[in-house]
Copies of this chain bind each other. A is one copy, B any other.
């Protein structure tokens, strides 16, 4: 990935201390002896299939606790990850985690509408918090979460794993170093065909919204870190529902456009009807693109000059190691901070406002 120390330093400057985790994982840090302990709060699919396995590969953080409302899940987690009885909590006694010195960090992997409550409770318990995206279901909640972590003197990081992914780092490099000149237009889309009509994603009380909240947020993030500015306005369109009963609570498909102060623009699409997953940047003298851009794996990057060979990594491990290092070094991971999550929430609220009003909405981010 890094062809020279100069290039690496440029990355570091952009990415914040957190990015150190990946390229320097093998180097000696003063704090490397100590591993942080993490508890996963919520044992759904992402915790079970991605985060826990990734924590077998991390160097600066390890799985020591779980929080679940489903006691039947506990034995297999205990067996697989050797989690002691005293590090297992439910949502009733979660706050007692304050007294548990094994746990430095809690990772909130609950449905979106529960992110704020558990982030705030985690901070009050004196723990650093990693919270899955979207950080909350509103800007107001996001601000409360940031304030709570600040008050507790603890870091708040959002689960923006792609900030540690070598494909996205190379994509950002193409933009920052203007490999093909200035980026003028971004196309970013993320969607999939939502199966189970009973899943929490389709219940607004749990999800806060439809594909925009769930995966469209990656397209927003991708657009923002590609262009490297904050959008000043947004237009958005909701498409008519083809399955109104299934999507009675949340949007089925939508599109939006972001307007940036330097003149760059973006056009995006997100849906629960079909697979679409791409980050494209058109620049003055060429283009670059990641296909399957936002998935846990399977990224392919190419430019108008051809495909790039990039070795994939475990995104979740790199992300959690990055956040752990930023905690160990007491240097907030600005690339994935609560403030960064809040900016996406402001765009999301702008998109919903633009859909409701049918008008272009000014953004103050």
A binding-site residues for B, Cβ under 8 Å? 184-185, 187, 189, 191, 193, 235, 237, 239-240, 242, 253, 255, 257, 259, 263, 265, 267-269, 271, 273-276, 278, 280, 282-287, 304, 358-360
Contacts A271-B185, A274-B185, A304-B275 given: A237-B235 contact, CB under 8 Å?
A: yes
Q: Which residues of B contact A280 (CB under 8 A)?
A: 276, 278
- Contact, CB under 8 Å: B269 / A276: no
Query: Once bound together, how far apart are the Cα atoms of A267 and B359, in whole Å?
Result: 18
Contacts A187-B187, A267-B269 given: A257-B275 contact, CB under 8 Å?
A: no
Q: Which residues of B contact A191 (CB under 8 A)?
A: 185, 282
Query: Once bound together, how far apart are the Cα atoms of A265 and B268, in whole Å?
Result: 13
A234 CB → nearest B CB, Å: 10
Query: Once bound together, how far apart are the Cα atoms of A316 and B124, in whole Å?
Result: 70
The residue in chain B whose Cβ has the minimal distance to the Cβ of A302 is B291
Query: Once bound together, how far apart are the Cα atoms of A229 and B113, in whole Å?
Result: 39
- Contact, CB under 8 Å: B287 / A276: yes
- Contact, CB under 8 Å: A259 / B239: yes
A287 CB → nearest B CB, Å: 6
Q: Which residues of B contact A237 (CB under 8 A)?
A: 235, 257, 360
- Contact, CB under 8 Å: B276 / A284: no
- Contact, CB under 8 Å: A185 / B282: no
- Contact, CB under 8 Å: A271 / B263: no
- Contact, CB under 8 Å: A271 / B275: no
The residue in chain B whose Cβ has the minimal distance to the Cβ of A281 is B274
Q: Which residues of B contact A189 (CB under 8 A)?
A: 187, 267
Query: Once bound together, how far apart are the Cα atoms of A267 and B191, in whole Å?
Result: 13
Q: Which residues of B contact A278 (CB under 8 A)?
A: 280
